Structure formats: C-alpha cells, structure tokens
Structure 1
C-alpha cells in the first residue's frame, strides 16, 4: 500500500468516525427534544427524532464544508504570502551579495607608496628640487 493510499484510507476512517459521532450527537439531541414533548405518540416521537437527526447532520455537513473551504482559502493566502516573502528575501540577498562584492572591489587598499600602479610610467629616478625643476639625479 502506497503512502497516498494510506492517506486516503486514514481520511475515510476519520470521516466515518466524525459522521458516526455527529449522528450520535444528533440522536441524543433529538431524544432530549422529544422527551420535553411528552404528549407525542411513539410514532410521532420516532418521526421527530429521525427528522431532527437528519437536520442535525445536514447542519454539521454544511459547517464542515464551510470550514474546509475556509481552510483551503487560507492555505492559498498563506502560500501566496510566503511566496512573496521568499522572493523579497532572495532579492535582498542578491542585493546584499552585490553590495559586498562592490565594496570588496572598490574598498581594496591603495597601492603602497613607491610601488608602480598598473600602466603608470616609471618615475623612480626623478626628484623635485627647491626650484621646482625636474631633473634626473642632478641638482640645478
């Protein structure tokens, strides 16, 4: 027996037990009402109990159906809300990762002094003297 078959069987047993309990509650309530009406004949009493039980079961079924419908409606609402929140969290996660990557690239320390930058000309031999003239190791 598969898991799906087991689930269906359990649901059928639960439904049967629920229906049996509701039927018993209906009979008990019908007997209480019929006891208050002491002037009924036995046939009238049985007829009243039968109708009362039928109405009780109809009301119970209507109530169960409304509850099941509402549960289904709430399930859809919660699934939609969860989906929206999950999408929002993924978007914030991607944005956070992008920001971390960007700060990692932009926030890297500058090159050490004296170390040439990529593509910069080598100016290590030049000095600036007091007269602001640039020469190559010669004072002017």
Structure 2
C-alpha cells in the first residue's frame, strides 16, 4: 500500500496514530462531560463564570489523563527493558547449557570410540 505521494505507508504506525487521535478525542469528550456534570450543580453561578469553570475543569481533567498516560508509557518502557534483560540472560544460559550438553555428548562419544 502506498500513500498519495508514492511513499510507503507503515500500517502499524498509521494504526497507532489513528488510535491515538481517537483516544485523545474520547478523553476530550470525557473531560467536557465531567466538567458539564460538575458545573450543572452550580446553577447559582453566572453563565460566563460557569463556562470558565467548566473550561478549567476540562483542562485539568485532560492534564491528569495526559500525566497518567505518560506514567503508564514510562512504566511500560521500564518493564520492557527489564523483561528484555531477563530474556537475554535466559537465552545466554540456555545456549551455554546447550553447548555444554553437546560437549558432553561429543566427549562421551570420544570415550566410547577410544575404548573400542
């Protein structure tokens, strides 16, 4: 698949970008809905102040969501690094065990051949 200008399209990157936009749009909608619910009980505030409070509430809600996503992404990167290190260690141990096993089999074969 190619883009309009003939450049190849990385479908995974495209999917991630679309998903990111959809998640951001959903977070904005959620923030505005939460702000509207919050300010609905403040009927005594003038409309302009209620609108400003709703805007500030939505901004704060989005900032908290963004911070949460960033913490989650950072922790995911940390876990990926930890698991990759464990995987490399296990792979090295498996290879060492495999080489040791092969060496023992070869040594046993040589002992049998020499003794015959």
TM over 0.5: yes
Task: Please show how residues 1-140 of structure 1 align to structure 2 within 5 Å.
Answer: 1=2, 2=8, 4=10, 6-108=11-113, 110-111=115-116
TM-score norm. by structure 1 comes to 0.73
| Greater Rg over alpha carbons, structure | 1
Secondary structure at the aligned position of 1:107 is classed as helix
TM-score norm. by structure 2 comes to 0.87
RMSD over aligned CA atoms reads: 1.5
After superposition, give the CA deviation of every residue in 1:39-78 in whole Å (9 maximum; x if it has no partner): 1111111101100110011111101111111111111111
Structure 1 gap segments, 5+ residues each: 112-140
Structure 2 gap segments, 5+ residues each: 3-7
Q: Whose helix fraction is larger, Structure 1's or Structure 2's? A: 2
* Total equivalences in the alignment: 110
After superposition, give the CA deviation of every residue in 1:66-94 in whole Å (9 maximum; x if it has no partner): 11111111111111110000000000000
Rounded to whole Å, the distance in 2 between the matches of 1:23 and 1:31 is 12
Say which structure, 1 or 2, has more relative contact order (CA 8 Å, 6+ apart).
2
Partner of 1:127: none
